[in-house]
Structure 1
């Protein structure tokens, strides 16, 4: 599975990004994958390769490139309860500095990068994201309704995007929520907002999960929930991204 680190030109400099794509040449649908707040690391690279193996060109940008190239902080191989507070304390200032204006400016650059790649087909793309990356994916899809055909976000604060963003979505949507993040009542309110916006979506709580359940290098990891994530994501992409 070919993979490499590339530079994406943005309005504020160069964003380093990990890309993975199928063997054998040809052109493939593009997928913009937003990492969680811990950023590009082995588990994200492996997830990108897994997705690429199904026939997609996957780009995972360093969200916080304005602070330097990835890795921006020294991460342990396993992010357990004893180190999580320290890690979050280091990444939180970068998350807080990543304003909506920066998110949308960068999204323009990331989608332009995909459009220009010779390995990427001319059709629509998908955006997917984890944790804070799921919110970024939602904002990207809302800002580019003619370009983004599929949106998926997992254990993400997607409600922060707000009804105005939901009303702009033309992509087919899947939101996979952690049970520890969202009560059934809050899920109902979120889904009511999506209904009111006329979104095509599925939005569900993954049973028995806590925030971060897809990430195999954390103590939140749930193997069954990660598989459910693939069971939802792959059919969504197959329905919405035509392959040549």
Structure 2
């Protein structure tokens, strides 16, 4: 498994990213949109697992405008007031519109590394909405988009992904934590309706008993059984869409 550290020039600066691949001839690209705790070994391990399936996996730092920051302990960061405040400032200060702009540069970075074919995206927590917005912004490149415990996928805000459903050509999978205040049942229904009306090939699945963050191994609510179920869904989605 090879990890390559790259710098991605964006309109707002330079985003650092890790590019993971197990073979130089990766069959397709994947962009992994991070959760609120930033790039770290737990996300690297997830990227390596996907790269082991034959993909080139890019994990960009979405908070690059505020670097350096952290590092944050995913188990305790929201429980300590000082780090909670710092994290929320990063999350709210990195708008959806910023990441939408960045996503074009992320796709260009893959292309510059020879990954010019179809691309899949997956996001966790704050990355979930960003993955769906990327699919809506780049329907010519992104053929699969997944969100796991993503928040505000169908909120009242103007940049909520459900408002752009008509632009999505990718197949969409949304894995929902059983109880998640950031994505309540009324938002799930609103997202389902928007995707159905837009005739987007999609599935929204409820992971009963799982809490927000269950997929990521260093999270306080990590659930190994639920995480394996997520891996089965995600690798199937990419196998069927990316080849």
Note whether the superposition's TM-score is higher than 0.5: yes
Match of 1:101 in 2: 97
The alpha carbon displacement at 1:83 in A equals 3.6
Pairing 1:133–2:127 present: yes
> What is the rounded CA distance, in whole Å, between the counterparts of 1:99 and 1:82 in structure 2?
20
Cα pair 2:154 2:187 within 8 Å, conserved: no
- Give the Cα separation in 1 of the matches to 2:186 and 2:96: 27
- Give CA-to-partner distance per residue, 1:88-133, whole Å, 9 cap, x none: 3211111111123311210111011111213x2x321011100000
Whole-Å separation in 1 of the counterparts to 2:79 and 2:141: 39
Deviations 1:205-230 (A, max 9, x none): 11101111112112111111111111
Distance 1:32 1:46 in 2: 14
Mark the CA change 1:93 to 1:51 in structure 2 (over 3 Å): closer, same or farther: same
Equivalent residue pairs, number: 236
Range moving further from structure 2, 37-46 or 154-163: 154-163
Compared CA separation, residues 85 and 218, structure 1 to 2 (3 A): farther
Deviations 1:28-79 (A, max 9, x none): 300010000101011001000011001110000000101115xx21323x61
Match of 1:117 among 113, 117, 121: 113
Matched residue, 2:147: 153
SS of match in other structure, 2:59 = strand
8 Å CA contact 2:2–2:20 kept in 1: the answer is yes
Q: 2:57 maps to which residue?
A: 58
| Structure 2 unaligned residues grouped into runs of 5+ | none
Structure 2 length as normaliser, TM-score?
Answer: 0.91
Please report the RMSD computed on the Cα atoms of aligned residues, expressed in angstroms.
Answer: 1.8
Q: Which runs of 4+ in 1 moved over 6 A?
A: none
Q: Are the aligned partners of 2:133 and 2:161 in contact in 1 as well (CA < 8 Å)?
A: no
Aligned twin of 1:73: 70
Describe the shift of the 1:100–1:189 C-alpha distance in structure 2 as closer, same or farther (beyond 3 A).
closer
- Counterparts of 1:200 and 1:164 in 2: how far apart (Å)? 16
* Structure 2 Cα separation of the partners of residues 219 and 80 of structure 1: 8
Matched, 1:89 2:85: yes
Identify unmatched segments of 5+ residues in structure 1.
Answer: none
Normalised to the residue count of structure 1, the TM-score between the two structures is: 0.90
Q: Secondary structure at the match of 1:90?
A: helix
